[in-house]
Amino acid sequence: MSRSLLLVGSPKPGASASRSFAEAVGSRLEARGWSTRTERVSPAFADATRMGELLDAIAESDLVVLAFPVYVDSLPAPVLRLLETWESAIADGAFAGTAPKRLAVLTQCGFPEASHCDFSVAVCRRFADKTGVEWAGALAFGMGAAIEGRAPEQSPLNGRIEQLDAAVDALAAGDVIPAEATAAFARPLAPAWSYPLLGGMMWSKQAKSRGCKEPLNLRRYAQ
Amino acid sequence: MKATILDASRSSDLRTRAAADAMEAGLAAAGYEVERILARELQVRACTGCFGCWTRTPGECVIADDARGMAERAIASDVFAVVSPVSYGSYGSLAKSVLDRMICLVLPHFTMVDGEVHHKRRYARYPVSLALGTLAEPSAEETALFERLVERNAVNLHNPKHAARVVSGDEPAAEAVARLLDAAGIREEVAA
């Protein structure tokens, strides 16, 4: 049986867009006869034992699906550190004798344009090329909060289920996620021009729900 | 004029440490009062993505550790320079752990920049961004990615000018620093 490892790169311990995205792919892989295992990236850095266990999980898998949010135009620091650690482990021979690994990436950002994710995908692609991990493609979309804690079918991504299925079909067959699926996922869920207005309302609402009494545009530090 | 350097070298990384030495010397020669911070000595927890810096304690991370001081230093500087090993075209994870915690310096609110959505500026002015990356072996691809990252960051972080270079192997960093300062127009301003 083919084995996949779903790595959730969101630092949030509970629900996250990354976890929802990873689980959506994982459930589809299972429906296609794969075994799946889900692990969070951040806790692996608590101690050497946990990192060793995560590297063992990578070693035991055929396909690694790495799901993460874009932070400051790139991968969150813990996800970067995972790639660095994985590369070191490869160089140290930790994966000698294990099955070849494939890497697929699922990423999302808070902006409406998926293009903000392009750099992060390129970084992961470079990691794969540099280390000999086989690149299996990526899905990226904007407005990531839209699926936090929800299955795609119950979210604004419900119009992309066909493309999600096509992507998983390819992964399950040992192929790269089709460019058509990647392009379909990248289409904005909301028009960019609406974001300045809708985003402002969203942040004000969130601040109010958190009991924030300070102005959101506070300049905290002296210049 | 004040410059802050985030030296993201790990203790065994002599190449990045030498690059940070060159950055410090170059900025000092250009007339800046330089403060160099060793990222490896900072206590910085990973960003939790809670957006507390936007909607709970606006302008400051909710986590009370050294990242707060770094954000405060950065926005009070005329130049903010990051010296870091390059990981697959990105800043290395040590630098990134600090940079992830700096979104408090912008507003949560959105604006359009050249037809693309970005966050609005929080402060009246932002520092010039300099980035000096290091690689063990030359890589045109990673160098191009690194330069692209710094450019993208400069849009989101409202840096009025930015410049990035990568040095590899035994390449002397002093020349790369000189080119960085020239590219950012810093040495010209000092000369003027």
pLDDT higher than 80, residue B190: no
Which amino acid is it at A195?
Answer: Y
Write the residue in B48, B111, B124 that is nearest to A196 by C-beta.
B111
pLDDT higher than threshold 70 for residue A9: yes
Residue with tokens 């160089």: A91
Contact (CB<8Å) A212/B58: yes
Chain A interface, best mutation among B16, B47, B48, B55, by max A CB count within 10 A:
B55
A192/B141 Cβ within 8 A: no
pLDDT-derived band at A177, boundaries 50, 70, 90: very high
Distance from CA of B142 to the nearest CA of A (A): 8
Predicted local distance difference test score (pLDDT) of residue A62 = 97
Nearest Cα residue in chain B from A208: B55
> Euclidean distance between the first and final Cα of chain B, in Å?
14
Distance in Å, alpha carbon of B114 to nearest chain A alpha carbon: 12
- Residue in A closest to B108 by C-alpha: A203
CB of A43 less than 8 A from some CB of B: no
Provide the pLDDT confidence category of residue B189 given band limits of 50, 70 and 90: low
pLDDT at B120: 96
pLDDT for res B146: 98
- Say whether pLDDT at B171 is over 70: yes
Q: Environment class of residue B14 by beta-carbon count within 10 Å: exposed (0-12), middle (13-18) or buried (19+)?
A: exposed
Query: Quick one: pLDDT at residue A99?
Result: 86
Q: Which of A73, A76, A74 is nearest to A7 (CA)?
A: A76
CA distance B70 to chain A (A): 11
What pLDDT was estimated at residue A17? 94
Which residues in chain A are closer than 8 Å to B60, comparing Cβ atoms? Answer: 220-221
- B54 with A80: Cβ contact below 8 A: no
Give the ipTM of the model, two decimals please. Answer: 0.96
- Convert the pLDDT of each residue in A20-72 to its tens digit: 999 999 999 999 999 999 999 999 988 889 999 999 999 999 999 999 999 99
pTM value is 0.96
At residue A190 the predicted structure's pLDDT band, cuts being 50, 70 and 90, is: confident
Q: What is the pLDDT of residue A46?
A: 85
Calculate the average pLDDT of chain B: 96
Residue-wise pLDDT tens digits, B1-46 = 999 999 999 999 999 999 999 999 999 999 999 999 999 999 999 9
Q: Do A77 and B110 touch (CB under 8 A)?
A: no
pLDDT, position B188 = 58
Residues 94-113 of A with CB under 8 A from B: 111-113
Q: Do A221 and B46 touch (CB under 8 A)?
A: no
* Percentage of residues in chain B having pLDDT higher than 90: 95
Q: Residue B3's pLDDT is what? A: 98
State the nearest Cα–Cα gap between A104 and chain B, in angstroms: 16
